[in-house]
Structure 1
Amino acid sequence: MSGAEKGDVRTFLESFLQEFSKPLGTEDPLPVSSANRIISLQELKGESLDLGLRLLSARNAPSWLAAVMCNVAVTELLKDDLTPHYCPKDPEQQPEDEQGVVLLQSEPVLRLFINKLRAVGVAWQKQPPNPDAPSSRTHSCSVHAIRNTRRKMEDRHVILKEFNQLLGLQDGVGREYYAVFDGHGGVDAATYSATHLHIVLSQQGELKTDAATAFKNTFTQTDDMFKIKAKRERLRSGSTGVAVLLTSDLLTVSWLGDSQALLVRQGEPVTLMDPHKPEREDEKKRIEDLGGCIAFMGCWRVNGTYAVSRAIGDFDQKPYVSNEADSSSFHLTGDEDYVLLACDGFFDVIRPADVPALVLEALRESGGSGNDVAQSLVAQAKTAGSSDNITVLLVFLKEPQKLLAHDTVCRTEGRGAACAAAGV
């Protein structure tokens, strides 16, 4: 760790411990809000890590430090005796699908977690840790999300550059995780997916050998977890989702519904996936074979209701609305430019073939900075007529300055697309 990084760590920890000079008491309010009054023991890790990252990032913690602090704190929390915080239950009134589910009072256990974070800060103020994989080695990204003309913002997105550090994986394979979730009928399913899907993924035995299969199992398990919560709390929402796991030489994409991921290689779009839509021929047949139908009501809808054929949630239309994700892995050769994740609010009005030119235009306007590219793409989608929530997340696999420089050479030499396609 460089001297500057050590300085950043010490500065943050000093400020953090000034704010949290003593452990939270049983009556102290949580410094970060939690929407859940009750959580299951299975959900505790995801809820704690989500709260911890929000708490630390709001106080400008270095991202790798926030990840490692949260991992250590939640590991210590799960060693504690949490039975004093169990919710009382009546086995005779407990639904069959909740048999064996341990429910916890959210606020006191999250207060314990924050105290664990504080204890980590106290220990590390004396001896700061070394980052296993400094965030400077990860890819830069650009993200922007707007409510647009909709009454509510129901999209959620996740950027986890320190996937291994946050989740305690130590196999020497660097991993980054990115996801976009497009909720409908409420934000609960999208929020739940953004909080828990990467946790479930990290626990898959196949993750290290077959990430595509691990992703498929993850979506199904996350949906099963949300079903218990939705039934208990009478939630009716659903969410599509697209997630990417990135290593040095492999990109794995998994999706449920019509949110999409697009790879651009040497200036050309590469199709990674086929979104799940009710009118897709195989989706239509699957639904009809189950006894359902699709009907056109402004757009194609499953049984006249949802405009998506696969999603987390939407339990009133399961199994017609499936929870089975698709997943694919692609080897990276080093000539890839970026991968873009977005909801249907973007892809319904912007063709994949138009994305490379729009990205280059944004880079030219910014002088090669990639920070505002996603904002430019969102504005393009809105101008093109999208009235939906719009979320765009770009992960640059090459530095934006290099992409712009390459484009400038091609334009100067007058070779345009041919130059880009050749990688010159």
Structure 2
Amino acid sequence: MRVVVASDKFKGTLTSAEVADAVGAGVRRACPDATVVAVPVADGGDGTLAAAVAAGYTFVPVVASGPTGEPVHSGYARLGDTAVVELADVSGLVRLPDGIPAPLTATSYGTGELIAAAVDAGCTRIILGIGGSASTDGGAGLIAALADLGTPAGVWEQAIACSQTPALVAARLQGARLVVACDVDNPLTGPWGAAAVYGPQKGATPEQVVELDARLGRWADAVADWTGADLRDISGAGAAGGVGFAALALLGAELRPGIDLVLEMVRFREQFADADLVVTGEGALDEQTLHGKAVAGVAAAAGRLGRDGAGIPVVAVCGVNRLQRDKLQKIGVAAAYALTDLEPDVSRCIAEPRPLLEQLGERIAVDHLTMARREKGIA
């Protein structure tokens, strides 16, 4: 029996690899002859870099600027001429000093530094995961870093003031192609834009949201003057505080769903081949799960494979499940197993998730591998 555990992280508690290890331990307790394969996945946000390394990419350390300018130890993952850059690991909320938001000053500058480092090292294809951003700078920081316009401070003024910015960025990219993992469809500005929708999550007050939206408008005006195209209203332009806009307008990037990119990166067709069961998961199953998150993506991928095109059965593990069974089945998940099924106290689930996940792994093996064994004629 072959079980593939392709789970996202349980945010704040377990990494993808730790989830797979715990589930695998439980599966093997109930089914000692089972082969359990861990395939860590992510949706383009935090965990993307770890998924790349688990898939065989080599981590290349780089010291870059954090969201408020302080140096942070980050890096990119490389395989051949492809580099994977995770915005969250260098310019993300997790990199804010002491977790204190900086809605008006946080910048994506460090992400530009990582892209530049990868290109300078000879990478010609950059996969950029942009979830988890700490800033709402429209990607001006990233662009300022690629154009080598100075320091992370005052990136708005630097980027807008230099009319040669597009040419400088193009020269630095040296023809490298960018593919961006993007799972939101917000425009750059306006009531559904980066500042209005995501600014408050990054600590912005109502007054600061207005200021940020105005800044994004001025940035979009400048870019439109340079390029002759106004992309502020394009779907995805508001992703990661506007990094999506900069990637589209100035880097010629292609935007793609994050989980699709990650699944390609981890060679899911090869990894899922001949699997009897796929276990996916994330911290919480909710309405967001249904719209491009890792669980839905893994289930869709598994549904296209399997013997005779019948699809590989998929179940999900999670901390808490807020979805009815019919909604899960519509995305290809046969059943969900939640930590709160075993321990109603959420604080205990967060503090000690591993033993509970092991128990869920045992339940999954009993509920689903038994049937598969019978179909295979295994005693």
What TM-score comes out, normalization by structure 1 length?
A: 0.27
With a CA cutoff of 8 Å and minimum separation of 6, indicate the structure with the bigger relative contact order: 2
